[in-house]
Structure 1
Amino acid sequence: MNPNKFSDAEIASVYKAIRERRDMRHFLPTPLEAGQLERFIQAAHMAPSVGLMQPWRFIRITDTELRRAIQQHVETERLATADALEQRSHEFMRLKVEGILSCAEVLVVGLTDHREKYIFGRRTMPEMDLASASCAIQNMWLAARAEGIAMGWVSLFDPETLRQLCKMPEGSQPIAILCLGHTAEFYPAPMLEIEAWDKRKALADICFENSWGD
């Protein structure tokens, strides 16, 4: 008997949240419950981070004009991405890539400035601050899904442009625009699978033993 193990029901809930989490693009304008956003940010803040540096910073976008400016910038980047995709550009343009104007809450997630002073765990891999912040975002995603709230991670933006829009300090780096809100229904599978953009790889294609490919 493992004394550290959760109950069977608790374990099932954890795996259910992981399995049914979706990168959402369709939202209802219904506001979140009081305290709900704070719970999600607290869940994010409980994530592990290299050297306990806690590199994540969250900016809640409540100004309507700023939200609109962010959406317009994402749309500009969407068109540039379509051009870069060449043969798949028309296929890409049919996809819905964000819900910035329709969701209840928008958060911009950034890496803090002065990150170079953190050496623990980053001497040979400085990008571990990004990995740490990604863990925080995943925590938020799972907490939101457990409470029936949809979340989408938008990455179609120029970091320097978004940094200036949000008045972030020099040396900081935005890494995500998060859309959160109620939805009519969660996608039964990842949207890009439903739209036949790509499909999930088999475990045998990603898991090896002792050396790559074995």
Structure 2
Amino acid sequence: MLNELITKDERDAVYKTIFSRRDVRKEFLPDPIQDTVLQRILMAAHHAPSVGFMQPWNFIIVRNIETRKKIKEAFVLAHEKAAQLFDEEKSQKYRKLKLEGITEAPLGICVTCDRERNGPIVIGRTSIPETDIYSSVCAVQNLWIAARAENLGVGWVSIIDNVKLKKILGIPNHVVPVAYLCLGHVSHFQEKPDLERTGWLPRLKMESVVYDEKWPRDT
């Protein structure tokens, strides 16, 4: 039963899944994903928490390779633009990073936020209107954890022009693309996140990001 207490083994499995989740870019295999598995992952995403229970998300499944090539072209343009923002040393290192698997993964999923769903006034969104976007991000996280539990990799392509992405996928004006995700079987999962493993940035110690009661004065 869903309302039963979580057992120790179930708890440990959840933590293992969270800590072994990775942003996958270059380990994708071309093997297709079973429809039953994809439906389980999407159902997990659909059961994310949402402000006012507005469930603002939609999931666009992108299998067509020609469509994914267009998305890859949009990534390449945004990637080159981003490379020019760093100093020369950092730019060279940035260009060597593999930051997407758009055509390597067998499919993509665009997670969106319909900001007009259930009308202009939503419980919990009256003071912080961005909570509908946050809700869709929760769906992304659910999807990612569920995919890892299915031994599938997910890669979030955040280097992309949303205007171009909306045009490619025919997304209405009032709907916001929140995440374009690459999904597929992988050859392996890395021990550490790519950007940590390659020395781009270290993982912060937890004690450096946890404060008691209020924000400290000396930060």
TM-score range, shorter chain: over 0.9
2:174 is equivalent to residue 156 of structure 1: no
* TM-score, normalised relative to structure 2: 0.92
Deviations 1:160-200 (A, max 9, x none): 11111111112111121110111110010111100111011
Q: Which 4+ runs in 1 deviate beyond 6 A?
A: none
Secondary structure at the aligned position of 1:157 is classed as: coil
- Corresponding position: 1:13 with 2:16: no
> Deviation digits for residues 108-139 of structure 1, max 9, x if unmatched?
11111425714321222111111111111111
Provide the secondary structure at the position in 1 that maps to 2:69.
helix
Identity %: 37
Q: Give the secondary-structure state (helix, strand or coil) at the position aligned to 1:210.
A: coil
2:134 aligned residue: 131
State the distance in 2 between where 1:113 and 1:71 align: 26
**2:183 matches 1:180:** yes
Aligned to 1:137, the other structure's residue is in SS state: helix
CA distance in structure 1 between the partners assigned to 2:65 and 2:38 by the alignment: 18
Alpha-carbon distance, 1:34 to partner: 3.1
Q: Residue in 2 aligned with 1:198?
A: 201
Unaligned 5+ segments in structure 2 are none
User: For this pair of structures, how many residues does the alignment match?
Assistant: 212
In structure 2, how many angstroms separate the alpha carbons of the residues matched to 1:76 and 1:86? 19
Aligned letter for 1:6?
I
Deviation at 1:4, TM superposition (A): 5.2
Q: Structure 1: any 5+ residue segments left out of the alignment? A: none
Question: Which 10-residue stretch deviates more, 94-103 or 161-170?
Answer: 161-170
Post-superposition CA distance 1:14-42 (Å, at most 9, x none): 00001100011120001112311111111
Aligned CA-pair RMSD: 1.5
Aligned counterparts of 1:186 and 1:118: Cα–Cα separation in 2:
43
* Range 81-90 or range 10-19, more displaced: 81-90
1:41 is matched with 42
TM-score (norm 1): 0.94
